[in-house]
Structure 1
């Protein structure tokens, strides 16, 4: 089931006030607590939302260097390389991609020397042909979904039922 306007309002509220109770969300939105809980459950079941823990800063953990490493992989070895990447703690994200390369990773490091050590480890993985690295200088837009939720909410049809 697609996200409707009430779902978008719920998502916005959850993003803006993540520590608020379901009862309080229902009060703020003017809907029954059961209605709100049912929608939250449905959105989680449908993969719209996922239970997540706190956002942890790699920099606060002593890893202030952020780089994006594009990896070219030998054909047929993508799964093997993916498993090997998952074993490297400094790789905090990896995606199969199209274009120049096969995998794009987000890598954190203590300093540039540590980053070089990680890249050397990547190059030695069976199935890795070459890498290309770009170091992030400054975050310009923090990871976010609220603007997308707002846009979807504006485009979504109004809720047909207003159960209380």
Structure 2
């Protein structure tokens, strides 16, 4: 993958503002041909720079409990536990971090009972977990996937 140039970043910015914006409209805004926009977007998609996704509001689809869970693991078990966590539909994000927890995950549940079952049944049977720290989101102030700074 080559470096992104100013035009690539501009295209990403326009798509980030409105993912349904047409290639023709972006081309007009940047004063280039629609083919140029199409080629650059296809290249960035192929290179994995971004992907088109639907970002849903979890609360509006019945997922009313959002949590961040910090997990401390036994030495040598972090990768195995992360791979196992990746398989759970409720888990949206798993990452290895420095600091207090070896793994941090974000997950969504329909209700507190489903969360309790996940912690007490699913996590409890994973070999190598030392401790789990669950933080339930009380109020959300920002939820953004915007990484372009102007």
**TM-score normalised by structure 2 residue count:** 0.87
Q: Hey, what's the Cα distance between the residues in 1 that align with 2:13 and 2:102?
A: 34
Spell out the pairing of 1:140-159 with structure 2 (5 A cutoff): 140-145=141-146, 148-151=147-150
| Paired position in structure 2 for 1:156 | none
Deviations 1:37-86 (A, max 9, x none): 22223322333222x33112322232111110001111112222122212
- Which structure is larger by alpha-carbon Rg, 1 or 2? 1
The alignment covers a number of residue pairs equal to 148
Provide structure 2 residue ranges, at least 5 long, that are not aligned to the other structure.
Answer: none
Q: Hey, what's the Cα distance between the residues in 1 that align with 2:125 and 2:116?
A: 13
Q: Hey, what's the Cα distance between the residues in 2 that align with 1:85 and 1:62?
A: 21
Q: CA deviation at 1:13?
A: 0.9
Mean Cα displacement is larger for which, 99-108 or 40-49? 40-49
Spell out the pairing of 1:76-155 with structure 2 (5 A cutoff): 76-120=76-120, 121-145=122-146, 148-151=147-150
**Large movers: runs of 4+ above 3 Å:** none
**TM-score normalised by structure 1 residue count:** 0.80
| Matched position secondary structure for 2:127 | coil
- The higher relative CO (CA closer than 8 Å, separation ≥ 6) is in 1
Q: CA deviation at 1:19?
A: 1.1
Spell out the pairing of 1:36-51 with structure 2 (5 A cutoff): 36-50=37-51
Q: Hey, what's the Cα distance between the residues in 1 that align with 2:139 and 2:60?
A: 15
CA contact under 8 A between 1:22 and 1:33: conserved in structure 2? yes
Q: Hey, what's the Cα distance between the residues in 2 that align with 1:13 and 1:125?
A: 44
| Paired position in structure 2 for 1:162 | none
| Matched position secondary structure for 1:149 | coil
Calculate the aligned-residue CA RMSD, in Å.
1.8
